[in-house]
Amino acid sequence: MVLEIPGATHLHSGKVRDLYEYGDHLLMVASDRISAYDFSLEPGIPDKGEILTRMSLWWFEQLADIVPNHVISTDVPEQVAGRALIVERLDMFPVECVVRGYLTGSGLADYAASGHVCGVPLPRGLVDGSRLPEPIFTPATKAEIGDHDQNITFDHVVDTIGAEDAAALRDLSIQVYRRAEEIARERGILLADTKFEFGRRPDGTIVLADEVLTPDSSRFWPADAWEPGRSQPSFDKQFVRDWLTSPESGWDRDIESAPPRLPDAIVEKTRERYLEAYERLTGRSW
């Protein structure tokens, strides 16, 4: 459901966020929607959009010394107060800048098939959840709605945007990941991987855009439950995943039907996990 927002023209909707033209700028709106197993679930998680917007803002502040960002203002229309940002309109690079510090998901699948991820060779013997010797840049192409991003090689990025910008995005992405991973780990959260989007200003400056380092753009794992060799619990989505895959939900993931509505208890526990992630990372109380 696209909101009618005075002064804003709807541009694009993702699974959990919406983008609007807003004068000379853009309005990026985070919904309370949550997605799992490639479905947008019902109901939304109360305050999720605001919690993740505040988290993203906090990260932009922590990273401002190493990379400029696109945030212009938080003075947004009343309808989306707290869960939207006015951002600078940039010329976006058509690359999902993924950095992985741990091996799982599509990275693990590529590694199992080839010993490489996005053309990057990895040591033998790694398992689900293994920490990588060094964080790796594993870019992807932006998928169409409903499709998965496609992992690509660095050379493909060079062919797409040129060698200078490709190297700049790689180096910036890894530098930002390293800083964020250390901050999160000190607070008991493992930043397994994350996805950045960058754009360019008319003067050529490369700017960190989109949302950053939220549980929607990253894998957040509780550090005290980390155990390589199996699937790691998600910091924020594990209650949802466990309920959906339990007999109680009656959902059969294999027949690709839409999942049932989440029970209130699961919604509330999930809201508390987003709050816990926000308060632990930022040190700020909600």
Q: Which of 5, 18, 59, 95 binds ligand PZK (CB under 6 A)?
A: 18
Q: Which of 45, 71, 132, 209 is the binder for ligand PZK (CB under 6 A)?
A: 209
Q: Is residue 90 a contact point for ligand PZK (CB under 6 A)?
A: yes
Closer to ligand PZK by Cβ: residue 13 or 160: 13
Nearest distance in Å: CB 28, ligand PZK:
5
**Options 19, 127, 167, 174; binder of ligand PZK; rule CB under 6 A:** 19
Residue 32 binds ligand PZK (CB under 6 A): no
- What is the rounded CA–CA span in Å between residue 22 and residue 167? 32
Interface pick for ligand PZK out of 3, 36, 57, 92 (rule CB under 6 A): 92
d(CA 154, CA 138): 8
d(CA 36, CA 147) in angstroms, rounded, equals 14
Residue among 231, 238, 244 at smallest CA distance from 269: 238
User: Is residue 87 at the binding interface for ligand PZK, with CB under 6 A as the rule?
Assistant: yes
Window of 17-25, 37-45, 53-61, 238-246 that interacts with ligand PZK by CB under 6 A: 17-25
Residue nearer to ligand PZK on the CB measure, 40 or 245: 40
Least Å distance, CB 139 to ligand PZK, is 16
Pick from 87, 126, 86: which is nearest to 103 by CA? 126
Tokens (6 digits) for 148: 């998965």
Q: Which stretch binds ligand PZK (CB under 6 A): 46-54, 86-94, 255-263, 270-278?
A: 86-94
Q: Specify the residue, 122 or 169, whose C-beta has the smaller distance to ligand PZK.
A: 169
Spatial strand order of the sheet with 189-196 comes to 131-137, 97-102, 189-196, 218-222
Contact between 196 and 99 under an 8 Å Cβ cutoff? The reply is: yes
DSSP 8-state symbol, 270: H
Kindly state whether residue 140 participates in binding ligand PZK, applying the rule CB under 6 A: no
Beta strands 131-137 and 189-196: pairing type?
unpaired
**Smallest separation, CB 2 to ligand PZK (Å):** 10
* 172 in contact with ligand PZK (CB under 6 A): no
Which residues between 186 and 205 bind ligand PZK (CB under 6 A)?
Answer: 199
H or E segment and range at residue 167: helix 163-186
Using CB under 6 A as the binding rule, whether residue 67 contacts ligand PZK is answered as no
Integer Cα distance of 235 and 259 in angstroms: 21
Q: Which of 12, 148, 185, 284 lies at the binding interface for ligand PZK (CB under 6 A)? A: 12
Record the tokens describing residue 77, joined without a space: 């229309």
Q: Does 83 bind ligand PZK (CB under 6 A)?
A: no
Task: Return all residues near 141 (Cβ < 8 A) that are at least 6 apart.
Answer: 94, 95, 96, 149, 150, 152
User: Inter-axis angle of helices 264-282 and 48-63, to 10 degrees?
Assistant: 20
Residue 48 binds to ligand PZK (criterion: CB under 6 A): no
Residue 147 makes CB contacts below 8 A (sequence gap 6+) with: none
Out of 17, 83, 156, 170, the only residue in the binding site for ligand PZK (CB under 6 A) is 17
The DSSP code for 249 is G
Give me the residues that bind ligand PZK (CB under 6 A), please: 12-14, 17-19, 26, 28, 70, 87-90, 92, 199, 209-210
